Structures are given as C-alpha cells and as structure tokens.
Structure 1
Amino acid sequence: MNVKHITIIGLGLIGGSLGLDFKEIGGSQVVVTGIDRDHETLVKAVGCNAVDYSTSDLVEGVKNADIIFLCTPVLQILPIVEKIVPHLKEGTILTDVGSTKGFLAQEIRKILPRGIEYVSGHPMTGREQSGIWAAKRDLFKDKWYILVPEASTSLEAVEEICQVLTWTSARLTTMNIADHEQCGAVISHVPHVAAAALVNLLEMYPDLEDNFKLVGGGFRDTTRIASSNADMWADICLTNAQPITDSLIKLRGLLDEVIGAVQQGDRQAIHHFFKRAKNRRDALIQKTDSHTTL
C-alpha cells in the first residue's frame, strides 16, 4: 500500500473517528490532514490526535493527498468536489461516507477529471452525539462498512480503500446502489424519521409538560437516534426520497392497522401485531447477535 497522505474533509463523528483509527494504526507512516469550517473543531482534532494538521482551506488541505475522505452531509459533497478537483494530483482517490449512494453515483462522476478516482462508501455505524467531541477509536470495529463498486470508478481504487479501511477493523462488504438505498431506508432512515416523530409528538401535549420528567428507559432507547445531526438527516431524506417515502407509506399502513384494531377492541389483532414483531426481532437478534446490536 502506497498511501502516505490522507485528507479528511469534515471532522465530525465519522471523520474524526476515522482519523483516530488512521493515526493509531497507521502511525508515522501516514500523514492525516483534517479540513473543517469550525475553528474549535480544527484545534480539537489536532489535540486529540485525530489528525496531524488541520485547516479550513480546502485547496491547501487536499494538496498531495493520496486519499480524500468526504465526511460532510451528502448535499455538501458535490460542491466540495467541484472546488477541489482542479487541485488534486493524478491518482488521488476520493471516497465518501454518505448514507445515500444513488445521488452521488449519478452526479459525482460527471465532474471527475481523468486520473482522479472515486469510491462510494458507507460505514454502518454512528452515535446519537455529533461532532469531533463524539469521535472515538474503534467506532467502526466489527461494524459493516459498505462499498459500492457499481458507483465507483475502478475496482483497483475500491481495493486501495479496502486496504486503508482495515485500519478501522470494520467488516467490509459490497452492495449495488438499489439494494443499498432500499435497505438503508428500511433499517436506518425510516427509524430515524420515526424516532424524531415520537419526540415531536410530545409537543402536541403541552399540558403534560411537567409530567415528561417521568420519561424512562423505553422512551429513551426508542428515541435515542432522534438526537442525531439534523443537517445530515435532512440531506439523507432528500437524496433517498423514493425508498424512504415508500417505506414510510408502508409504516403508515401498519400504524393504521393498529389504530383500527384498538378502536374496534380487537385484542387478537393487537396481540398478533406485537407477537409478530417480537418473533421477527428475536430471530434477527439470534442471527446477528455476534456482530450487531439491534
């Protein structure tokens, strides 16, 4: 592996955690530069050894980079790529960590000059906190990291990114665009929408505000991901609109079934709803327990 200089654009949870892994495992054999717009983030990233150098200057930060990780919200990635491509050396590999792949697959390759590679990627991990202060070593350990060769420019570039990602101890796999977008909508995007909706539901009961101090573990666990970054999730919804809306419509249908059963006093139907969910989740836990916590 000939990677000597990695640049990370966007030093939030994912970008910062990547840097911590790269510096811990890569050590002195790799230089990591971090780019962010926030001054305190830049200082913190150097201080916690997530990067060797930090800057708010896109052009300065990407000079001589072998690999550039794009770790901003999805809709910010394309304008960044447009700004930096004239300043990249031949052979540089761009790779993103966005939760949606179709939009970038369609747009990013249109603006790449000859000699610049692109690898589409998505780490399936995270925390409800955001920012460099939430970054941690081993965030990716034993978590799935999806690569999308269909949306990438070459298999050689995909292999190069795979080699670097071994420093994170992530479990690497590949998917096609359509499966990634639909799977992401069902297991990640819609749950985030539902969690946010549950929290927003509280606003509809202002008379009970004083009693919300009684919120317990069930509500906290169910809505934990509602504390995620709003910019990131707005971009995800806009760039994976059809799979998300299709899945939300199906979820609405399930909720309508429960509403009807409760209104009719149909205990058997209500019981079946919960029992079916329990059996399905228990089966998933049994299948994936050694790798993932659902």
Structure 2
Amino acid sequence: MSGKRINLAIIGVGLIGGSLGLCLKDKMGEDIYITGLCRTQQSMDNAMKLGAVDYATADIEAVVKEADIVFLSPPVLQIVPMVEKILPYLKKGAILTDAGSTKQYIWQHLQKILPEDVYYIAGHPMTGREKSGVTAAQKDLFVGKAYVIVEDTGAPKEAHEKLMGVLRHTGANFTTMDIAKHDRCASVISHVPHVTAAALVTLLNRTGGDLDSCIKLIGGGFKDTTRIASSNADMWADICMTNSEAIAKNLKQLQAILGDVITACETGDRQAVHDYFAASKARRDSLLENATKKFDPN
C-alpha cells in the first residue's frame, strides 16, 4: 500500500480482532500501525507476542487518539458504551467499523451520539471458530468468507474507499445490503442455527438415565450439527437481545416446521417425512453448488 501509513485501532483483540490484525500486518507490513485495546495483561502480552498488534494497552486514549480507522470487536451490547468512551479522543475524520452480528441496534444508538466528522460504516464478517481469544486468531480467517458492508449509515464515499482499501487485504467476499435486511438474513443464516445447535446439546442433557449411553454413540453427525454450540456465550446472548424480533420470528417458523414433522411421525405419514427430507436436501445441494465459490458463511 502506497502513501501515508494507516493507523488502525482494534477494540477487542480476540478471535476476530486478532485475526484481522494478523492478516493486515502480514499483508501491509509497515504501511499499517495497529494499536489494540485489551482487558488483561495476559491478553496484551499475547496480542503483541503473536503479532496481531504493534502495541496493546488498556489505555483507551492511547489506543484510539491517532486512529484513522477503529475496528470494534467486543460483544454487541458493549459496542455502543465503548464508542461513548472513545469519542472524546477520536480525531476528525476517524472511521468506525465493527464486527457485530446485529446492525440495527448499534446504528440506532450511534446515530444519536456521533459527531458529523466521525463516520460509522457497519460491517459483519461472517466467519469465526468455536475457540475464542487472540490465541485462536488466524491470519487467513476471513479468506473466502462473506463480509457484509452496510452502506446506509451516512458515511461519505471517501471514508468507504479508505476502509475498503484496508479490508480488501482480508481476502473476504464483500457484499452490501441495507441494515434491516442484514439483520433479517443474519437471523436465518447464523443466529437461529446457533440457537438450534445449543438446543440439540440441551436435548442431550435432558435424556436423563440414558445420557451416558447416548454419549457413547456420539459421532460425526452430532458433532457437525452442534459444532457452533461451542461458541462464546456472552456474544450470543448479546446477539439474541439485539436482534430479538427477527430471531423470535424465525424460531417460531422453525417451531412450526418441527410441529409438522412431529405430526407426520405421530400419524405415520411416511410420504410427508420423505418430502420434508427430499426438499431440504435439494435446496441445500443447490445452495452449495451455487454459493461455494462465492461465500462460505459460518
């Protein structure tokens, strides 16, 4: 990257923030200087030792005062309070972006407090791992994954170009959509599946005296369908609180679908059950065939 060095502040140098730092230091080298806000000394030490940031500290002012771009990657409910804390130290023209899985809640609050010369460009990298923390970070975490950029938050074209000039180094597949559609789609593609995976583990826990025997039977199918149930509980509690309408609506739809399957099982309607599985297989196979080369949403 040519021209002036970019100063990037990462708020929350965990899995996502740490992976972004690793990627950008690898791709941009001395053309980017990354500061990181960490809560604990161990996190600071790990972030610097791994090379995810050039400098890590718990001092908010030191992290953001020179930042051209601030990447916010704490749990969703902590994003707005964090912006309130950093606002006094941001320079004119600073760009805020985030990794939050819900967007409307954040924007509804930020648009009330952001000054005219500080810009917010909502983002959502559709990636992750079951492990959390900077020690789980990977420089190629974003490669080939869908990365949503929401463009209806009032930031000027120059700010978008500056941000994308940095984020393109991730190798993600960028797509744009309006903020309300993002939250609806994220509910179907990401949020409800996480709730459902956790429900399957909860079901296992409620098998009573059969629990030990059930555990002996655990194989690839159970592991695959419940993999995302190992995700961070704080993050997912915040997501459910900030996209509650869409999540509740889609869970009710899922409840109705399962109700139909229950009825078919109880009445011995094999054709209905067959059609249920056949239709879902056809849809999934078609989706994978069409989308694998474009996106890999997690």
Residue of structure 2 equivalent to 1:75: 77
Displacement after TM superposition at 1:125 (Å): 1.0
Aligned to 1:108: 110
Q: Is 1:172 matched up with 2:169? A: no
Which segment is superposed worse, 282-291 or 239-248? 282-291
Listed one character per residue, the Cα deviations across residues 123-174 of structure 1 (whole Å, up to 9, x for unaligned) are 1111111111111011111111111011243232222111110111111111
Q: Contact between 1:285 and 1:293, CA under 8 Å: does it hold in 2?
A: no
Per-residue CA shift, 1:242-294, capped at 9, x if unaligned? Answer: 11111000000000000000000111111111111101101101111223457
Aligned residue type for 1:233:
W
Work out whether 1:258 is the aligned partner of 2:275. Answer: no
CA–CA distance in 2 between the matches of 1:18 and 1:128?
17
Does structure 1 retain, via aligned residues, the 8 Å contact 2:103–2:182? Answer: yes
Residue identity in the other structure for 1:34: G
For residues 124-135 of structure 1, the aligned pairs below 5 Å read 124-135=126-137
CA shift digits 1:209-246 (9 cap, x unpaired): 22213210000000000001111111111111111111
Q: How does 1:145-224 map to 2 (within 5 A)?
A: 145-211=147-213, 212-224=215-227
- Which SS does the other structure have where 1:141 is aligned? coil
CA distance in 2, matches of 1:6, 1:44: 18
* Counterpart code for 2:204: L
- Residues 1:231 and 2:230 aligned together: no
189-198 or 27-36, which deviates more: 27-36
Question: Which whole-Å CA distance do the structure 2 matches of 1:236 and 1:143 have between them?
Answer: 20
* Counterpart Cα distance in 1 of 2:88 and 2:294: 42
Equivalent position to 2:53, from 51, 64, 68: 51
For 2:125, give the aligned amino acid.
Answer: P
Partner of 2:14: 12
- Asked if residue 36 in structure 1 is aligned to residue 38 in structure 2, the reply is yes
- Retained in 2: the 8 A contact 1:147–1:158? no
Aligned to 1:274: 277
Deviation at 1:2, TM superposition (A): 4.0
Structure 1 CA distance for aligned equivalents of residues 202 and 157 of structure 2 = 44
Task: Work out whether residues 149 and 155 of structure 1, in 8 Å CA contact, stay in contact via their aligned partners in 2.
Answer: no
| Displaced runs of 4 or more, over 3 A | 291-294
| Alignment equivalent of 1:62, drawn from 41, 61, 64 | 64
Cα displacement (A) at 1:191 = 0.3
**Is the CA contact (8 Å cut-off) linking 2:173 and 2:295 kept in structure 1?**
no
Distance in 2, Cα, partners of 1:88 & 1:249:
43
Distance 1:73 1:234 in 2: 9
**What is the Cα-based RMSD across aligned positions, in Å?**
1.3
Runs (5+) with no aligned partner, structure 2: none
CA distance in 1, matches of 2:153, 2:265: 46
What TM-score do the two structures reach when normalised by structure 2? 0.95
Contact 1:105 1:152 (8 Å CA) reproduced: no
Aligned length: 294
* TM-score of the pair, normalised by structure 1: 0.97
Q: Offset of 1:71 from its aligned partner?
A: 0.4
Contact in 1 for aligned 2:61/2:89 (Cα 8 Å): yes
- Quote the offset at 1:3 in angstroms: 4.8
Give the structure 2 partner of residue 86 of structure 1.
Answer: 88
Residues in 1 aligned to 2:296 and 2:56: alpha-carbon distance in whole angstroms: 34
Change beyond 3 A, Cα 1:152–1:220: farther
- With over 3 angstroms needed to count, the CA separation of the structure-2 counterparts of 1:222 and 1:49, relative to structure 1, is same
Query: Which residue of structure 2 lines up, in the alignment, with residue 117 of structure 1?
Result: 119
CA contact (8 A) 1:3 1:67 kept: no
Secondary structure of the corresponding residue to residue 184 of structure 1 = helix
Aligned position for 2:23: 21
